[in-house]
């Protein structure tokens, strides 16, 4: 079973919206900041948004004003609401702790969820 499980991706036209969900265990969720990362084809993975245990948020400049991140403590779930999507937002989106979770000496990454924005 994955430590963090992403869902909610899909195909959307430019200007549209999607909401991604990240479900986690209580231990991971309660004691860590959670981030949404993305990796586009041929590019390095980048941190897009972060929410701290206390609810403070940070965003990469390219998504400020378009994306919001929130957490539901009762459900151990973090959401990424993406509005005004652009083709350059196309990527596989992953959630992880910040810094990324280390398991057995390696960095854990889940399956991710594909977001494709058509022009």
pLDDT in tens, 61-94: 999 999 999 999 899 999 999 999 999 999 999 9
Please compute the mean of the pLDDT values over residues 21-49 and round it to a whole number. Answer: 94
* Pairwise CA distance, residues 68 & 26, whole Å: 22
Nearest to 59 by CA among 80, 43, 28: 80
C-alpha of 13 from chain center: 20
Please classify residue 45 by burial: count the beta carbons closer than 10 Å to its beta carbon, then call 0-12 exposed, 13-18 middle and 19+ buried: middle
Q: What is the pLDDT of residue 3?
A: 84
Please compute the mean of the pLDDT values over residues 110-118 and round it to a whole number. Answer: 97
Whether the bond between 99 and the residue before it is cis, its omega within 30 degrees of 0, is yes
Strand partners, 77: 23, 72
In this structure, of 7-16, 22-31, 51-60, the range with the lowest mean pLDDT score is 22-31
Nearest to 22 by CA among 94, 107, 114: 94
Please classify residue 66 by burial: count the beta carbons closer than 10 Å to its beta carbon, then call 0-12 exposed, 13-18 middle and 19+ buried: middle
Other CB atoms within 10 A of residue 58 CB: 15
Q: What is the pLDDT of residue 2?
A: 67
Please compute the mean of the pLDDT values over residues 27-56 and round it to a whole number. Answer: 95
């Amino acid at each position: 079973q994955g430590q963090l499980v992403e869902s909610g991706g899909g195909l959307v036209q430019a200007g549209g919206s999607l909401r991604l969900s990240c479900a986690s265990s209580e231990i991971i969720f309660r004691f860590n900041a959670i981030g949404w990362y993305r990796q586009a084809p041929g590019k390095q993975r980048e941190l897009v948004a972060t929410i701290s245990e206390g609810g403070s948020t940070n965003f990469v400049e390219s998504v400020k004003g378009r994306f919001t991140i929130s957490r539901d403590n009762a459900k151990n779930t973090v959401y990424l609401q993406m509005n005004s999507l652009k083709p350059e937002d196309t990527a596989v989106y992953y959630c992880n702790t910040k810094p990324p979770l280390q398991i057995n000496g390696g960095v854990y990454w889940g399956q991710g969820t594909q977001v494709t924005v058509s022009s």
